[in-house]
Structure 1
Amino acid sequence: MSSQHTLQARDLGLGYGEREIVSGLDVDLPPGRLTVIVGPNACGKSTLLRAMGRLLTPTAGTVLLDGKDIHRTSTREVAACLGMLPQTPVAPDSITVADLVGRGRYPHQGWFRRWTAADSEGVAAAMLATDVLDLADRSVDELSGGQRQRVWIAMALAQQTDILLLDEPTTYLDISHQLDVLDLLTDLNRERGVTLAVVLHDLNLACRYADHLIAMKAGRVIVEGTPSEVVTESLVQEVFGLRSTVIADPASGTPMVVPLGRHHVPSSSSSPSAR
């Protein structure tokens, strides 16, 4: 697998009905890199990702896959090189885990949907990587939120695309599985050259895992670059409205944001010397 495909947005306008979310936005996903998009709720992160994954039609501008308008490219051609895991995917009633993950193989099959050994290997590898192999025969309806999320990630992995977009893939997962998923995405990027764009809420996890960080607010890109270039106390204040101090993460050396509440400094009456 290589990362020769490119994905860009040019002068992008996005909205729902009369409500404009994004206007005049330009975004380039660095090929072969892991990009994380961060920002406060309702800033346009998920809307942008949906548009770049061809799930939302722009009101203006265009999304370019390999320099071509993604909406003028065939569905099969797009699906062969770009995979998308939206924020709230919906599974067909009573479908089993193995069958759902297997749907990720459709872009690689011919017109007659012939299942091959490569399809079986791709599904098994994706389920093993996401720790859902023992759930293969279970109905997706029966699973917990965390299990279901790992199954959806497995389906996205089974598609084996050069570009993969994931909207909040750590939702419903405990901290251990959050790290497992982000480690897995890092491995895909490092070992196979997959271009990744991930929306995350946790700024510190974003800093730890991102090669390229995009910070958004109110439908605009405020700043982008490496986490060390982007994440400063003033940036956290501007984007999230949060007073903080930024230190080096003791585990990774990447920026780590420590929030400062209104009462972070002990009052003189509560200090030991005042007693």
Structure 2
Amino acid sequence: MLKATRLAKKLGQWWVLNDITLEVKAGEMLGIIGPNGSGKSTLLRLLSGEEKPDQGEVLFLEKPLHEYSLQERAKQLAVLTQEQVSDLSFTAEEIVMMGRHPYHRSFFGPTPEDERIVCRVMDETETRDMKLHRFNELSGGERQRVSIARVMAQEPKLLMLDEPTTYLDIHYQLAVLDRLKAWQKESFLTVIIVLHDLNLAAQYCDSLLVLKEGRQVRNGTIRQVIEPRLVEEVYGIRPVIVNHPILHIPQVLLTSNC
């Protein structure tokens, strides 16, 4: 589905990312984890085509990403960034409908199919009751859920999300990630997701890529990544790794460094 080879990005004289190689197969959910400042968001911008790498190449469906037009890319790939434009006065429903823009013909409004899709994703993200509310009047968590509904309305083959659980309480964190996982299975959706919470990453992702200081530390299965030595090396803590009693995956317990 998507393949990146030896990606690197410079900011001034500093390499903020260096020598990143990865491959995401169709229908897979890849989690990108690492400490603050490790280059996770920068990597997502390179993989989505928002920024160009200074070195290396990104292939999407075996074609260089930069060879796609913006409309072609928008029909295949949807991106949710951390940055929210909170002063938009559109209604929540209008924001979600923006996800259908790549499919609109000039001078024609939303089709009945567009409206059906928007209703469905607003139901799935529990945002239907706020559809007439102005986006700039919503809370941070509500805006996040509406933004997630917008990228879901785009119906992409590849979905990239940068910290989608930001601003969300525990209920909506699980609800959103459950919906993404279900969508992944139902539609054979490919997902690349940046997460801070290692336990959520282990529960929902099929594989993990670990970054530290702009470099790739490891790319592998959940058990290859969520293990004591690597977590201590990357995060500077001494974790206790336990097996989830129901899901049977590794989970991280934190202890004081004192």
Identity of aligned residues (%): 39
**Does structure 1 residue 29 correspond to structure 2 residue 28?**
no
Q: Which residue of 1 aligns with 2:157?
A: 162
Helix, strand or coil at the partner of 1:141? helix
Structure 1 residue 90: deviation in Å?
A: 1.9
Could you say which residue in structure 2 is the equivalent of 1:254? 249
1:190 aligned residue (185, 192, 203): 185
Match for 2:238 among 220, 243, 248?
243
**Alpha-carbon separation, structure 2, partners of 1:81 and 1:262:** 45
* Cα deviation, residue 89, structure 1: 3.0
Shift of 1:91: 5.4
TM-score normalised by L of structure 2: 0.96
Question: Secondary structure at 2:15's aligned position in 1?
Answer: strand
Deviation at 1:191, TM superposition (A): 1.1
The structure whose Rg is larger is 1
Equivalence for 1:55: 50
Counterpart among 69, 78, 86 of residue 73 in structure 2:
78
Question: Separation in 2 of the partners of 1:102 and 1:112?
Answer: 15
For 1:190-229, list aligned pairs within 5 A: 190-229=185-224
Alignment-mate amino acid for residue 191 of structure 1: E
Q: How far did residue 224 of structure 1 move? A: 1.6
2:139 and 2:109 map into 1 onto residues whose CA distance is 32
Deviations 1:133-182 (A, max 9, x none): 01111110000000000000000000000100000000000011000011
Q: Size of the alignment, in residue pairs?
A: 258
Q: For residues 9 and 55 of structure 2, what CA distance do their matches in structure 1 show?
A: 7
Q: Pick from 15, 20, 36: which aligns with 1:20?
A: 15
1:176 aligns with 2:190: no
Relative to the length of structure 1, the TM-score reads 0.90
Which residue of structure 2 lines up, in the alignment, with residue 144 of structure 1? 139
RMSD: 1.4
Q: Which runs of 5+ in 1 are unaligned?
A: 1-5, 264-275
Residues in 2 aligned to 1:30 and 1:240: alpha-carbon distance in whole angstroms: 28
Q: Is the 8 A contact 1:106 1:113 kept in 2?
A: no
Structure 1 range deviating more: 24-33 or 121-130: 24-33
Distance 2:64 2:159 in 1: 18
In structure 2, the gaps of 5 or more residues are none
C-alpha displacement of 1:259: 1.8
Describe the SS at the equivalent of 1:173: coil
